[in-house]
A and B are shown apart, each in its own frame.
Chain A
Amino acid sequence: MIYALLNIAMLAAPPVFAWMIHNYLRHGDLSGRRKAVFLGVYIVLMNVILFAASWLRGVKTLDFNQMTVTYRLKWIGLGIVLGFVLPFFVCLLTEEQITLGGFRRYILRFTSDIRRYFPYAMQSARADLESEVSGSYLNWLWWLIEPVCMMLIYAVIFGVIFSASEPYFTVFIFIGLTMWGFFSRNVSASVDIVRGSRDIITRIYMPKFVLLLSKMLVNGFKALVSFCVVICMMIVYRVPVTARMLWAIPVLAVLFLFTFGVGTIMMHYGVYVSDLGYITGIVLQMLSYFTGTFYSLANRIPAPFGEILEQFNPVAFLIAAFRNAMLYGKSPAIPILLLWTFVSVVLVALGAFTVYSNENAYVKVI
């Protein structure tokens, strides 16, 4: 019974996902019949590509009776990633409104807007940081105290009570908390960001993702303070210094891109769906346990699942890669890192495109 369901999910979920992305790209102005045709196209196309991938990896038959759960999960995971990317190419080939020239125009507009409004985002972030601390007694020390206290709590609970055994456990937790905090804070903030900036955006034009960018700079600065604490702790624990530590930089860059991509998309829906904030909160809370913020997914979750989760949950992968580079002197899996870089770029493109084509309406709705 469960396997039958899993079979269906395996063959149907990725194409349906890709099909949803396709409809999203076309802004729902496809006719019902065309939609049905595309669903068919995606079911065939996605499964052919996935089977081809499996063929290349050496599994040359689809035998449902002998299939392992790992294989099925990998199939679905890869399918979802592919589902993000494939619709772009399908749209390019089949829809006359979406063209390479159009993409180029959007890219040019995006880069020129970033260049033009970055000083504003920077200044706004700086002013926000200043105003956040100017009223409090311990002022900027809070940026240090808060993460250090959180780390102590988790270190006591998981290190002593549940006796976790990862080497350099405190630093390990601290890295997880900082990176996950950066992601989840930005995503949950992005939901209300357009409504919250009502006063400004009804008076003057700016590309709406600049609001998110400024928020990310604020959170990014706080994360940097935490990383300074990480470095101090690494010196205290005498973590060996290796050249592989440099991998931390591209890993953080990908995290930034990925967060920006997810944030822009959430920002768009946040304008229209007034109670999205609650759902985001719940989903983020759940995801934080699937991300291994304070334990190692690969070591703690039973054999095949932990590793699969670590590869197909981008934030988990990035956190693990960062920890491996900084603490254990290991390089990340480069193909997977490249894959997630690519997916992040696609997400940013999707998000920027959505925000650009709807920002006119935002001002009228709020």
Chain B
Amino acid sequence: MEEFALEVKDVSISYRILNNVSIRKTLFHRRTRNEIFEAVKHVSFAVKPGGILGIIGQNGSGKSTLLRSIAGVFAPNEGTIDLHGHNISLMALGVGFKANLTGRQNILLSGMLMGFSRQEITDRMPEIVAFADIGDFIDRPVRTYSSGMHSKLAFSITAMLETDIMLVDEVLSVGDEQFQRKSLAKMRQLITDESRTVLIVSHNINTLQELCGQVLWMHAGEARELGEPAKVLKDYTEFMAG
């Protein structure tokens, strides 16, 4: 068995802020300055197979950017991310759906984008639909959904189509109370599975304390502390209080 399921080495990610050039601007203002904003600076860590890493930090400290980069949405500017051939999925609030398509069609499309075959998805379809528990809405266009239903469906897709590595971005509080309990239980079951590696981004200290084997504290793009949950979380709470 290999030593690590996921290795992140010296990763930096920067944004160049140059959005929305219009033709008028390019004609009449030569060369606007391109500001570069570094969202993640030289972060390294590794997670063992079956390990659970929690990531905590203030808003805008680069947690989600890092997660998206690990999921492959964009490549880091520097450094390497090695998944050792595992497949991966990013579970985030309101996964990208096509608003005009029905829930069922969106399940199929999201699954195919995650790399599953049509057959695998149709096999799991009843499970996903049952877990999402949104009744007749499953056959209506996603634009008619309430935000709660939206996230319930999103959660069900990523929870039922299991991948080796799961990236979880603050989804532990999805939907109404009943669904929250159900999803938390499902999360526990998925997370505690020996073979599954999980990264969780959350602000909820209790959850992290309970689930994680390791916690990474990110501050202003840098990895400030990495280690035992109890210690890191304590330092973080003290920092936030003071």
- B109 to A199, Cβ gap below 8 A? no
CB-nearest residue of chain B to A204: B113
- A272 to B109, Cβ gap below 8 A? no
Supposing A120-B112, A204-B73 touch, asked if A275 and B15 sit within 8 A by C-beta, the answer is: no
Q: Mark B97-119, 1 if CB is under 8 A from A, else 0.
A: 11011100100111011100110
Asked whether A160 is an interface residue with its Cβ less than 8 Å from the other chain, the reply is no
- Chain B residue numbers with a CB within 8 Å of A205 are 71-73
- B112 to A200, Cβ gap below 8 A? no
- Chain A: residues with Cβ within 8 Å of the partner, total of 32
Asked whether B68 is an interface residue with its Cβ less than 8 Å from the other chain, the reply is yes
Q: Mark A116-128, 1 if CB is under 8 A from B, else 0.
A: 0001100110011
CB-nearest residue of chain B to A272: B21
Asked whether A338 is an interface residue with its Cβ less than 8 Å from the other chain, the reply is no
- Chain B residue numbers with a CB within 8 Å of A366 are 19
A131 touches which one: B18, B21, B100, B114 (CB < 8 A)?
B100
Supposing A203-B92, A360-B74, A363-B74 touch, asked if A275 and B22 sit within 8 A by C-beta, the answer is: yes
CA distance A201 to B96 in the complex (A): 8
Asked whether A282 is an interface residue with its Cβ less than 8 Å from the other chain, the reply is no
A274 touches which one: B22, B73, B118 (CB < 8 A)?
B22
- A120 to B23, Cβ gap below 8 A? no
- Chain B residue numbers with a CB within 8 Å of A105 are none
Supposing A128-B101, A131-B102 touch, asked if A203 and B73 sit within 8 A by C-beta, the answer is: yes
CB-nearest residue of chain B to A124: B109
Supposing A123-B109, A123-B118, A365-B18 touch, asked if A203 and B23 sit within 8 A by C-beta, the answer is: no
- B98 to A200, Cβ gap below 8 A? yes
Asked whether B178 is an interface residue with its Cβ less than 8 Å from the other chain, the reply is no
Nearest-Cβ distance from residue A236 to partner chain B, whole angstroms: 36
- Chain A residue numbers with a CB within 8 Å of B98 are 124, 127-128, 199-200
- Chain B: residues with Cβ within 8 Å of the partner, total of 36
Specify the main secondary structure of chain A where it touches its partner: helix
- B101 to A200, Cβ gap below 8 A? no
Supposing A203-B92, A360-B74 touch, asked if A131 and B101 sit within 8 A by C-beta, the answer is: yes
Which residues of B from 123 to 175 have beta carbons under 8 Å from A?
A: 141
A204 touches which one: B19, B22, B90 (CB < 8 A)?
B90
CB-nearest residue of chain A to B68: A202
- B109 to A364, Cβ gap below 8 A? no
- Chain B residue numbers with a CB within 8 Å of A273 are 21-23, 26
- Chain A residue numbers with a CB within 8 Å of B74 are 359-360, 363-364
Asked whether A141 is an interface residue with its Cβ less than 8 Å from the other chain, the reply is no
Asked whether B16 is an interface residue with its Cβ less than 8 Å from the other chain, the reply is yes
Supposing A120-B113, A199-B96 touch, asked if A279 and B23 sit within 8 A by C-beta, the answer is: yes
CA distance A251 to B239 in the complex (A): 68
CA distance A130 to B104 in the complex (A): 13
Asked whether A361 is an interface residue with its Cβ less than 8 Å from the other chain, the reply is yes
Question: Among B95, B98, B108, B113, which residue has the most Cβ atoms of chain A within 10 A?
Answer: B113
Q: Mark A342-366, 1 if CB is under 8 A from B, else 0.
A: 0000000000000000011101111
- Chain B residue numbers with a CB within 8 Å of A359 are 74
CB-nearest residue of chain A to B94: A199
Which residues of A from 125 to 149 have beta carbons under 8 Å from B?
A: 127-128, 130-132
- Chain B residue numbers with a CB within 8 Å of A120 are 109, 112-113
- B96 to A119, Cβ gap below 8 A? no
Supposing A273-B21, A273-B23 touch, asked if A203 and B109 sit within 8 A by C-beta, the answer is: no
- Chain B residue numbers with a CB within 8 Å of A119 are 112, 117-118
Asked whether A224 is an interface residue with its Cβ less than 8 Å from the other chain, the reply is no
- Chain A residue numbers with a CB within 8 Å of B112 are 119-120, 123
Asked whether B184 is an interface residue with its Cβ less than 8 Å from the other chain, the reply is no
Can you name 6 A-B pairs with beta carbons within 8 Å?
A: A200-B97, A200-B98, A203-B92, A272-B21, A273-B23, A359-B74
Q: A202-B96, A359-B74, A363-B68 are in contact. List 6 more A-B contacts (CB 8 A).
A: A130-B105, A197-B96, A199-B97, A202-B68, A204-B71, A275-B22
Sorted nearest first, the 9 A-B pairs with minimum C-beta distance are A200-B96, A199-B96, A205-B72, A203-B96, A127-B105, A131-B100, A120-B112, A360-B74, A274-B20
Which B residues are closer than 8 A to A by beta carbons?
15-16, 18-24, 26, 68, 71-75, 90, 92, 94-98, 100-102, 105, 108-110, 112-114, 117-118, 141
Which A residues are closer than 8 A to B by beta carbons?
119-120, 123-124, 127-128, 130-132, 197-206, 272-276, 279, 359-361, 363-366
